[in-house]
Structure 1
Amino acid sequence: MNPPDVAVSPDLSRPLLVERLDDRVVATLNRPDKRNAIDQDTIDALHELCAELEVNPRILILTGAGGVFASGADIAQLRDRRAADALAGINANAFVRVNELPMPVIAAIDGYALGGGAELAYAADIRIATPDVKLGNPETGLGIIAAAGASWRLKEIVGDARAIELLLTGRTIGADEALAIGLVSALHPADALLDAAHAIADRIARNDPDATIATKRVFRAPREAHPLVDLEAQAPLFESPEKHRRMTEFLERRRRTAE
């Protein structure tokens, strides 16, 4: 797809460049001289964007500038953080907020997504990548743990056995392995990656936004909450004019096809 012209933030030095369309937002991590390492300014910008998308839900596409998603947290800043900073969950809370956005989040990953960069990618609902992607959590080699999501989110994506092996070894994996274990759902050439992300967003955007939001919310509910959480989410949808309109159109199309 060729998205319509959009207004990009005029300050191209910002750590997060944001393009706004009617039904989606594209956010580009933009510290290419630091391989998009996630610093405090990036975290602040993510919080600002999340606040916007919590009020006005839209699909979010996350990507990185310069052929890199995010090489990790900014080590220069991370080195100086102390116990109080760890307990504050600086990166973890931002990534939780991204993960809990009402509408789907798509991570379009090229090049390195390591440490905090990988954890931001794990916070997305859908991950696609290029053949050059490199994913991993080398935190234990730096004397810390992967505490911004990998320690609990990675096993939900790829299962306990693969997750613990990756976390304990700090091993970096490439595109083929990431695809094989389900860490990414598809691979695309670098020059087609963003178009592929937009194609997924197009498919999502054709659906009813209320049903999409409800599906994401129900999917994330704990097992013991089902089936009640499903039924409670379904009840208002059964009463919605949009459900009636879409089902009527479906029946009309089927009738015309049968004639």
Structure 2
Amino acid sequence: MSGALRVERHAAYVLATLDRPERRNAIDQATIDDLHALCDELEAAPATLVLTGAGGVFAGGADIAQLRERRAADALRGINATAFARVHALPMPVIAAIEGFALGGGAELAFAADIRIASPTLRLGNPEPGLGILAAAGATWRLPEIAGHAVAADLLLTARIVDADEALRLGIVSRVVDDPLAEAVATAERIATLDAQAVRATKRALAAPRDQHPRVDCEEQAVLFESPGKERRMTEFLERPSKAARASAEANR
């Protein structure tokens, strides 16, 4: 990896930090290359991914100096869109811990996450039309899915920036906390206590188009019903003493 993305591997999750604080973590080609390399790893060995940014900023946008030089052929390659699509499609959950600016491509990378946790300093939006382009790396389809068409149209057509409170009210982020990275790590650790096969199946079901439900849910459940994890976890649950029984046993000692 180039170093634009700093990766730390933990037992319960992988932490990836956008690490160009001198450029507000602007997403350049090196960042995209590093994201692809990380996706190669996480597609082969699934783990929950926590995404964050260095220096109190998630990502101030795509690297404008590089964008200015790109032409039609570059747009048709979908440079950022392809990388963000791979992030979104990773087998295990992706959690974005967002502080400060998440603008342009930074917002679109955040939209690619399954769970978005923000700090009160959040400033999120897509100012691309002010630069003569559109938000083409996920905002026009993911933001309507996240917050609805009316919200997406309001934000994308006006290039309006929202703060943490409005992002929470609009459903763009699910939580606003003082330390989003600590909250994201705690969330990843909670996910690690669950059955990984069931988590992956749930993510696939969430991603399925509406017209595939409930068939896709039943097919995923059919596989889980035959899994060793389901048998073991349900057996442990049934054999666990109830709180009332434990309290009674303690009282009778």
Q: 2:153 aligns with which of 143, 155, 164?
A: 164
- Asked whether 1:41 is paired with 2:20, we answer no
Corresponding position of 2:213: 226
- Residues 37-91 of structure 1: CA deviation (Å, up to 9, x unaligned): 0000000000000000000000000000001000000000000000000000000
Instruction: List alignment gaps of at least 5 residues for structure 2.
Output: 247-253
Q: What is the alpha-carbon distance in structure 1 between the residues aligned to residue 4 and residue 242 of structure 2?
A: 53
Q: What is the alpha-carbon distance in structure 2 between the residues aligned to residue 173 and residue 46 of structure 1?
A: 26
The Cα shift of 1:23 comes to 2.7
The DSSP-based 3-state class of the residue aligned with 1:128 is: strand
The DSSP-based 3-state class of the residue aligned with 1:210 is: helix
TM-score (norm 1): 0.93
Corresponding position of 1:135: 124
Q: What is the alpha-carbon distance in structure 1 between the residues aligned to residue 172 and residue 241 of structure 2?
A: 38
Question: Could you say if the C-alpha distance between residues 254 and 164 of structure 1 is closer, same or farther in structure 2, counting changes exceeding 3 Å?
Answer: farther
- Asked whether 1:195 is paired with 2:182, we answer yes
Q: 1:124 aligns with which of 113, 129, 134?
A: 113
The DSSP-based 3-state class of the residue aligned with 2:134 is: coil
Identical-residue share of aligned pairs (%) = 66
Corresponding position of 2:101: 112
Letter of the structure 2 residue corresponding to residue 137 of structure 1: N
The DSSP-based 3-state class of the residue aligned with 1:200 is: helix
Q: Is the 8 A contact 2:13 2:189 kept in 1?
A: no
Corresponding position of 2:15: 26
- Asked whether 1:92 is paired with 2:92, we answer no
The Cα shift of 1:254 comes to 4.9
Letter of the structure 2 residue corresponding to residue 221 of structure 1: A
The DSSP-based 3-state class of the residue aligned with 1:14 is: coil
The DSSP-based 3-state class of the residue aligned with 1:66 is: helix
Q: 2:196 aligns with which of 203, 209, 216?
A: 209
The Cα shift of 1:257 comes to 4.1
TM-score (norm 2): 0.95
The Cα shift of 1:255 comes to 4.8
The DSSP-based 3-state class of the residue aligned with 2:26 is: coil
The DSSP-based 3-state class of the residue aligned with 2:240 is: helix
